[in-house]
Amino acid sequence: MTDISKAPGIVDATSYGLIPGRISAQARQVIERLKDAGYTAYLVGGCVRDLILGEEPKDFDVVTQARPEEIRQVFRNARLIGRRFRLAHVHFGREIIEVATYRAAPSADSEDDNGNVFGTLEEDAFRRDFTVNALYYDPDEGLITDYVNGLHDLAHARLRVIGDPEARFREDPVRMLRAVRFAAKLRLQLTEDGRRLLPVLGPLLQGVAPARLFEEVLKLFHTGNAAATYETLCEYRLFEVLFPGVAAILGPHADRDSLLGRALANSDQRLSEGKPVTPAFLFAALLWEGVREEAMHSIAEGAVPVEAWARAAEHVLREQLRVITIPKRFSVPMREIWGLQSRFERRAGRHAFRFLESKRFRAAYDFLGLRVASGEAPAALFDWWTHFQEAAADEREAMVGALSAQGEKRPRKRRRRRAAGG
């Protein structure tokens, strides 16, 4: 059992660059109103960690001794969410401040009727996963409270689990993915016991609900550190647990110049420029090698290409869904991106004009670009489609006409069957 009797370290926040002006005005308002109502309240977790590291927090979380129903009494604009662990979301227009009650380990005897296990500030600190996420900042007092030496670990770029690492990872295997995410995002080094345990306990992720793993994969690859995250997942043999079929083809690690390597780097670049990324494109890149290998094998054995690609996509996706749920709103466009790749080679007649109007053309075109960059598809094909998009109507006609002159055949029209007796 973790000893929570140690005195906390309480330090001047300004020495770590934390000043009230860097805090969301709404978050400060939430803390002030909770204090006015007689409760203690702190900023906690990732926002404190990121402020110390000089990063801009994506959100601000507050923790307090007030129970969920008491929080709602203080804030009319609060909405309680969650069943097992109730939280309050305090709404300020489009900004939401999440407010949680101090919690204790499940063994505590302070469980309420809804199954919430409430505790003290100290218990809340030792319940958290990593020391760098267990820092509490009071902007009014200008103080940081640290029970677990999180400040020391941040100063030494170290990611350390609170409590016994093996017990914590077994308690919730998803903590291993969080360890990878923080290590990659914050450039922190896992402690020796963490580095040793991840490859050994990784198979425990197979028991996690596939829907939950989908959300965790998005957090891993859609936070602007996808390339580094992939490297870390491979280092600790967790990628092969999440994507067993692809890992069997790629081996221990995909080359940075491969389609997957370029896709992850491209995703990081887009996020750094404030551009959107989509899970459909991400999973299309993650699973592509499995689809391509299976389809090419079938074609080599004499299968019709269109049917081979369709069957490969179906099989690869079905096997992946055993591990990670991919909602249809993403799996459908993902399969369309794959299926449209063969259409780039059919440009004669009116085909190019019709294809250009497809709602999924742009995503498929970007995917073709990755295939070209990785040496999988001819650059001339990509260049032709790039020029075709930019050309005026008469030039497009000339480009398609030139293909016919070079011998590219128009796609054959299917002959309609006559109705019986017709």
Q: Indicate which residue of 50, 61, 146, 268 is catalytic.
A: 61
Tell me how far the alpha carbon of residue 66 is from its chain's centroid: 32
320-334 in b/e form (b: 16+ CB < 10 A) is beebbbbeeebbebb
Contact between residue 246 and residue 233 where contact means Cβ atoms under 8 Å apart: no
Q: Indicate which residue of 129, 146, 153, 268 is catalytic.
A: 129
Q: What angle do CA 369, 323, 205 make, to 5 degrees?
A: 115
* 59: annotated active-site residue: yes
Q: For tokens 């309480």, name the residue.
A: 10
* 61: annotated active-site residue: yes
* 140: annotated active-site residue: no
Contact between residue 141 and residue 126 where contact means Cβ atoms under 8 Å apart: no
Write out the H or E segment, with its range, that includes residue 64: strand 61-64
Contact between residue 262 and residue 223 where contact means Cβ atoms under 8 Å apart: no
DSSP 72-126: HHH-TTEEEE-SSS-EEEEEETTEEEEEEE-B--TTSS-B-TTS-BB--HHHHHH
Contacts 24+ apart (CB under 8 A), 352-355: 352/388, 352/396, 352/399, 352/400, 353/396, 353/400
Going by C-alpha positions, the residue among 100, 99, 103 that lies closest to residue 90 is 99
Contacts 24+ apart (CB under 8 A), 90-96: 90/26, 90/30, 92/26, 92/29, 95/24, 95/26, 96/59
- Residues noted as catalytic: 59, 61, 129
